Amino acid sequence: MHSDRSALTIERRSLAVGVLDAANVDGEATLRLTIQIESAGAHLVAPFASDALIIVTTTRVGLTAEVRKIAMLAHAAGVSHLVLAVLRSSSDDLQPNAFDTLTRGFDTMMRRLNFVSAAIIPIDNASDKAAAVSGAHILRRDQALANYLVTLPRPSPLHTSQLDPSPPSEHFAAHVACLTSREELLPGREYRLRIGSLEQPATITAIKHRLDTETLQRLPARTLSHGEIGVCTVATHPAIRLAPDSLGAARFEIWGEQTDEPVAAGTVDFALRRGQNVHWQELSVAKPLRSSMKAQRPCIVWFTGISGAGKSTIANLVESALAANGRHTYLLDGDNVRHGLNKDLGFTAADRVENIRRVGEVARLFVDAGLIVLCSFISPFRAERAAVRGLLDDGEFIEIHVTAPLAVCEQRDPKGLYAKCRAGKLPNFTGIDSPYEAPENPDLILETATAPADELAQKVISLLAARGMIAARD
């Protein structure tokens, strides 16, 4: 018997329970809740990473907009079980009619959300009964919360082998809840996707709309902020197998490249067919042959810096010098691509992400063609510059920080942009009211306030020669 119980323990993990306080309850009540959770053989985790979420309220607080919003976020994040723990204190008598009213409101709310189970449980020293809705059991014993939690199924660990054997897909539709207040969830930015036992790169390719947490009405949205829920399409590379109804495989988390908490969490709605039917076509002529024909190693030389720092000036000088020596190049400039390829984009954070994503894909094609590609873009976010680097082979992305003091850039103001910004006519301007994230480890730093542009351009040429992209004579 002992060995059988041990085997069961290995196969099934303890229930992961999260707690969110919507009523500012006192510490003693919170401690009592924690003790009951642990006595049920469960363990505490971050709220939206839990199997079961407990929302703490009182009859006086009731079903506030915040409680309803938390329930919506939990549902979108894939929480299976929801418990509304209604605490009483010495100054708060739990009247039968008040609790019944709360129960009816909770029941109505749960009809709109498809949790595996949902229960409303009064927690106090005098009452131990649990009122349950949406298929949950009714309990009438001591430690109502603990007794309810022990009835919930303990999920088994999910392994890659347990995922659906259906064809893998690179795209799927999902409901996604933004969990962090640190940053918006931006389409086009590369994140890390955790689903089951897998972790791999992923991108939100589109936010179709967001959901009003009160009315469930579809609202237009281009990004998701803290506490917002959106219907999105997600792209992964490589393709993954999805099983929306199997062992929690439908549930995932989205992490930033340098964050210590998930940016968002969500549930898979369905795989998109285009993610299953698009395949790479093998071609006879590839990058090594194209670059050997040009007697150079292709790469991207990425010039980043705030407006007026001198990026375009130096990039143009570098290309002129390379062309004079018979090198095959192409210069992509931030302003120029906005006249054509990116003419539909503005300067919001989401548009800036998409701007660099598109440019990165074009530059990658030019590298595949064997060219040395010079890219001159403010590119204010490290994440997008890192994403472009990730498109290439090792050593093919050279990041150059072109820098000058803000006062110098503003004094130069070659396009009159700083003047417009200071006059309130140009919002979201990098360096003034929109952030610029300087490279942490650039391949080269060019300080344009202390050296002439042609001298700095020669430093770039020397770097290319040192890296073996061009012959040393260049």
Question: d(Cα 296, Cα 196) in Å, to the nearest integer?
Answer: 44
Q: 262: which 2 tokens?
A: 């998930």
Q: Which residues contact residue 367 at a Cβ distance below 8 angstroms, ignoring those fewer than 6 apart? A: 287, 298, 299, 300, 373, 392, 396
CB 290 within 8 A of CB 386: no
The 3 state secondary structure assigned to the chain is CHHHHHHHHHHCCCCEEEEEECCCCCHHHHHHHHHHHHHCCCEECCHHHCCEEEEEECCCCCCCHHHHHHHHHHHHCCCCEEEEEEECCCCCCCCHHHHHHHHHHHHHHHHCCCCCEEEEEEECCCCCEEEEECCCCCEECCCHHHHHHCCCCCCCCCCHHHCCCCCCEEEEEEEEEECCCCCCECCCCEEEEEECCEEEEEEEEEEEEEECCCCCCEECCCCECCCCEEEEEEEEEEEECCCCCCCCCCEEEEECCCCCCEEEEEEEEEECCHHHHCCCCCCCCCHHHHHHHHCCCCEEEEEECCCCCCHHHHHHHHHHHHHHCCCCEEEEEHHHHCCCCCCCCCCCHHHHHHHHHHHHHHHHHHHHCCCEEEEECCCCCHHHHHHHHHCCCCCCEEEEEEECCHHHHHHHCCCCHHHHHHCCCCCCCECCCECCCCCCCCCEEEECCCCCHHHHHHHHHHHHHHCCCCCCCC
**Marked catalytic residue, from 225, 379, 434, 462:** 379
379 is catalytic: yes
For the chain, give the number of residues.
Answer: 474
**377: CB partners within 8 A, 6+ apart:** 302, 303, 304, 311, 332, 333, 334, 355, 356, 359
Which are the catalytic amino acids?
379
